[in-house]
Structure 1
Amino acid sequence: MTSILVTTHAITGHLRYATPLVRELVVAGHDVLWYTGRAFEPLVVGTGARFAPMTTRAGADAGARDALQSAPDRAGGVGGYGTTVLEVFVRPVEAFVADIDELIDSFAPEVVVSDHSFLAGMFAAERRNIPLVAFSTSALHVSSVDTAPYGTGLPPARGPLGRARNRLLYQLVRRVVMRDPQREATRIRAALGLRPLPGFFFSWPQQIVDRYIQSSIPEFEYPRRDLPDSVVFCGPTRLEGLDDWKEPAWWGRIAQARATGRPVVFVTQGTAATDPLDLLLPTINGLAAEEVLVVATSGGRDPQEVLPADRRPPNLVLEPYIPFTEVLPHVDLMVTNGGFGGVQTALAQGVPLVAVGDSEDHMENNARVRWSGAGLWLRKERQTAEQMRDAVHTVLTRPAYRARARELMTAYARFPDGARAATRVVLDAATARRRGAH
């Protein structure tokens, strides 16, 4: 049995990516202690792990998620991350480390597993020379001479001019856009007695971890000649659904539509950026007169409040939630705001995409959808009904999108169980004889 300390931000999406891994570790008989916000205790306990709450001293609970949603500069892009990154991801680090230090003293973990943006978990493990594994909750967050900075949504650029572009953009991001978070992160490392690290602080995890689990496949990622050896592609973990979810009474409409040649379009509003005027209602309105079946989720909102039943077009089914793993094997296209897990799950099923928006980390996920050739990216957060209708029509009628999604499905099939693969990575790191062994 291995003692494993898991540390995550108190943000729903970050916990969702950790849940399958933690459950797999517990089932395998390991002792897992999970440090996160108090609001998530039921989720943690449900995995079989023990729960360690963030303290009042750390000044964070489930509020990190609220900060992400209410940040005044939520509009997207690198600039859109500035204030949020400083206040949510950097400033609380020292208080989190104080919490984690006490857990290390009492629990004595043999390995620390941290979400890729939770600097406190990584810094605490580094200070104690404990094997460290990070797991990603988004598109690959690794700086490279071949790529623009994370958050710009720019595709890779080849050749000397492209590399010059990338160098310039990294300097701009580090010294201007992310100047304050960079300075604060540098100050915190010094205050914690840690060695200075070169480069942009977004890239520091790759310099200190033993392994970096990327819950995706190489074919979905930009090529990088300088990809660190620590990065391990494990494929997507199976996103957890509701334990009591059952097929609703209307479920047979999906099979009926496909049997008659009507495409099935799945529309997901997401769980963070949930304004139905951005994506959900424009898509519903744009497809109302089309020969398709629209299966849509409202991001947890009451469907009756989003669109009363007497105003819904006859080709629409609207639910608060449908597990991706249940619906995606039966659809022809997914319309999404670009959540990482949803995009991965869709492509693993060979489903092409219409991706909308550039808020939060969705910009980078959506940019890879376009770059991979598996779908369209409509960059503006709010689209018109006509724009959504035209985008859906384009992807449905041009075989290249589905063909590329099918190619990626074959690539994803090489990674049939992301949680089990990630578990092996964690246990390998825990049994390494010395830090840095690969």
Structure 2
Amino acid sequence: MTRVLFTTAAMAAHVRPAVPLVKELVEGGHEVAWYTGPEFEETVTGTGARLVPALAGTEFGNTLARAGGKGRGFSGLNRLVLELFLKPIPAYVRELAVVFDDFRPDVIVSDHSFRAGLLVAEQRGVPRVAFSAGPLNLSSRDTAPFGLGWRPSSSMPGRLRNRFMNWLLYGIVYRERQRVLGRVRADMGLPALGGYSVDWVVRTCDRYLQTGVPEFEYPRGDLPTSVRFVGPTQPEEDGTAPQPTWWPEVLRARAAGRPVVFVTQGTIATGLSRLILPTIEALAQEDVLVVATTSGHDPDTVLPAGRRPDHVLLAPFVPYGAMLPLADVLVTNGGYGGVQHALSHGVPLVVSGTSEDRMETNARVVWAGAGISLRTDTPTVAMLRRAVATVLRDPSYRARAQALQRALTAMSGTGRASAAILAAAAAGRAPTSGM
């Protein structure tokens, strides 16, 4: 039996992707403790793991809510990273010192953005594994800095561009990150590191598990050997959730060959005027069936039945696992998990969003040929109409999405990830030292 300590930021987008992996380890007979926000107690205990509440992070969700959609572009993303992930590290480290002494883990697995767990593991000399549920965030001679949404380039001019922009952003614009993390490492008695701080997680962990497949990620000639692609890790859906009453209409449309457009705004930026309502207006005169999830909002409040077109179906919740196989295109704000879920069903996309890491996720959708990015948080009706029509008309988008589906299916996801974690624990067990 291996004792595994998970540490994740108290955000659904960081907790939910780890659920299938934790379940896999627990069902394999391993003991798992999970350090995250107490609001996720039901999620954590539902996996069979033991919740260790992150009391130092009680303000995490509030800070994110106050930030709203301000994480747009690299400057906004930089502010979010500093306030949400870096400055609170010392408080998390103090709590994790107690957790470590109580649980005595054989390996620590951390959400890649939650550095406190990895720092404690490094200090204590135990194996450490980072788990990323977003686009790969590393500097490279072949890619521009994370957050710009630029296409990769390994040509000589491209590498000159990349080198300059990496220096400008990581070395100048983001130097506060470097200073904060350098001070944390010094205070913990850890050795100073050179290079860019964005790469320190990969450089100091035994394995870096990247969800998804290489075919969706930019090629890098300098990719560290510790990076392992593990495939899809979508959480299982609640099989008891009832289907909407209008579900037979979806099945009839599918059987008749009528295009089905599935629309979702995501789980964080849920203002329905950004994407849901403009898409409904954009497709008002089109011969398609529009299915939209209102992210918990009452459909009659969002769009009263008397004003709702006959070909528009709304529900507070739509089971993605059942809906995606029936969809011809997904219109979404571009959250990484939702994009991967769509691709795992071979569904092409129209993506819209620039906040947090969506700019990078959506740029990869375009680079992989699996959809169209509108590169804005507030697309116009005309933009949405053109994009949906193009994806429905051009079979290359579905062909690329289906190719990515095959690549995702070929990887075992949670099985591959759990094997890497256990291998790191077995290979790297070492005596621990006091803090």
| Bin for the TM-score computed over the shorter chain | over 0.9
Distance 1:401 1:418, change over 3 A: same
1:395 CA displacement: 0.6
- Specify the alignment match of 1:70 in structure 2: 66
- Specify the alignment match of 1:292 in structure 2: 288
CA distance in 2, matches of 1:89, 1:260: 49
CA distance in 1, matches of 2:71, 2:429: 44
RMSD: 1.5
* SS in structure 2 at match of 1:24: helix
- Specify the alignment match of 1:264 in structure 2: 260
**Could you report, residue by residue, the CA deviation over 1:118-137 in whole angstroms, capped at 9, with x for unpaired residues?**
01011000001110111102
CA distance in 2, matches of 1:378, 1:31: 45
Which of 326, 332, 336 is the matching residue for 1:330? 326
Establish whether residue 180 from structure 1 lines up as the match of residue 180 from structure 2: no
How many residues are matched?
430
Question: Does the aligned pair in 2 maintain the 1:334–1:353 contact within 8 Å?
Answer: yes
Structure 1 gap ranges (5+): none
CA distance in 2, matches of 1:379, 1:93: 32
CA distance in 2, matches of 1:75, 1:110: 36
Distance 1:53 1:187, change over 3 A: same
* SS in structure 2 at match of 1:277: coil
CA distance in 2, matches of 1:46, 1:296: 28
- Specify the alignment match of 2:350 in structure 1: 354
CA distance in 1, matches of 2:349, 2:117: 35
- Specify the alignment match of 1:281 in structure 2: 277
For residue 127 of structure 1, what is the amino acid of its counterpart?
A: Q
For residue 68 of structure 1, what is the amino acid of its counterpart?
A: L
Which of 209, 214, 220 is the matching residue for 1:218? 214
- Specify the alignment match of 1:118 in structure 2: 114
Question: Does the aligned pair in 2 maintain the 1:238–1:419 contact within 8 Å?
Answer: no
For residue 34 of structure 2, what is the amino acid of its counterpart?
A: W
For residue 373 of structure 2, what is the amino acid of its counterpart?
A: W
- Specify the alignment match of 2:223 in structure 1: 227
1:284 CA displacement: 0.9
For residue 119 of structure 2, what is the amino acid of its counterpart?
A: F
Which of 105, 108, 117 is the matching residue for 1:109? 105
Distance 1:366 1:65, change over 3 A: farther
Establish whether residue 37 from structure 1 lines up as the match of residue 32 from structure 2: no
* SS in structure 1 at match of 2:5: strand
The normalised TM-score by structure 1 is 0.95
Which of 414, 417, 424 is the matching residue for 1:429? 424
CA distance in 1, matches of 2:298, 2:183: 45
1:42 CA displacement: 1.3
Which of 227, 230, 239 is the matching residue for 2:235? 239
Structure 2 gap ranges (5+): 431-435
**Could you report, residue by residue, the CA deviation over 1:203-222 in whole angstroms, capped at 9, with x for unpaired residues?**
11100111111110010000
Distance 1:70 1:309, change over 3 A: farther
CA distance in 2, matches of 1:236, 1:76: 26
- Structure 1 stretches of 4+ with a deviation exceeding 3 A read none
* SS in structure 2 at match of 1:189: helix
Distance 1:124 1:391, change over 3 A: same
* SS in structure 2 at match of 1:114: strand
Greater shift in the superposed pair: 257-266 or 296-305: 296-305
1:80 CA displacement: 1.1
Question: Does the aligned pair in 1 maintain the 2:244–2:315 contact within 8 Å?
Answer: no
Question: Does the aligned pair in 2 maintain the 1:67–1:84 contact within 8 Å?
Answer: no
- Specify the alignment match of 1:248 in structure 2: 244
Question: Does the aligned pair in 2 maintain the 1:265–1:335 contact within 8 Å?
Answer: yes
**Could you report, residue by residue, the CA deviation over 1:223-271 in whole angstroms, capped at 9, with x for unpaired residues?**
0011111111110112232353132321111221122221001101100
1:69 CA displacement: 3.9
* SS in structure 1 at match of 2:410: coil
**Could you report, residue by residue, the CA deviation over 1:257-310 in whole angstroms, capped at 9, with x for unpaired residues?**
122221001101100111111111100111122111111112222323322222
Question: Does the aligned pair in 2 maintain the 1:212–1:231 contact within 8 Å?
Answer: yes
Distance 1:379 1:30, change over 3 A: same
Which of 418, 422, 437 is the matching residue for 2:413? 418
Greater shift in the superposed pair: 319-328 or 259-268: 319-328
CA distance in 1, matches of 2:361, 2:310: 32
CA distance in 1, matches of 2:17, 2:68: 26
Question: Does the aligned pair in 2 maintain the 1:73–1:79 contact within 8 Å?
Answer: no
Greater shift in the superposed pair: 295-304 or 42-51: 295-304
- Specify the alignment match of 1:18 in structure 2: 18
Distance 1:433 1:386, change over 3 A: closer
For residue 145 of structure 1, what is the amino acid of its counterpart?
A: R
Question: Does the aligned pair in 2 maintain the 1:267–1:296 contact within 8 Å?
Answer: yes
1:149 CA displacement: 1.1
CA distance in 1, matches of 2:191, 2:244: 56
1:161 CA displacement: 1.2
CA distance in 2, matches of 1:383, 1:238: 28
Establish whether residue 386 from structure 1 lines up as the match of residue 382 from structure 2: yes
Establish whether residue 316 from structure 1 lines up as the match of residue 304 from structure 2: no
- Specify the alignment match of 1:369 in structure 2: 365
- Specify the alignment match of 1:49 in structure 2: 49
1:75 CA displacement: 5.2
- Specify the alignment match of 1:199 in structure 2: 195
Overall identity of the aligned pairs, in %: 50
Question: Does the aligned pair in 1 maintain the 2:244–2:318 contact within 8 Å?
Answer: no
1:176 CA displacement: 3.3
For residue 223 of structure 1, what is the amino acid of its counterpart?
A: P
Question: Does the aligned pair in 1 maintain the 2:261–2:290 contact within 8 Å?
Answer: yes
* SS in structure 1 at match of 2:181: helix
Question: Does the aligned pair in 1 maintain the 2:111–2:132 contact within 8 Å?
Answer: yes
Which of 401, 404, 425 is the matching residue for 2:397? 401
Greater shift in the superposed pair: 64-73 or 320-329: 64-73
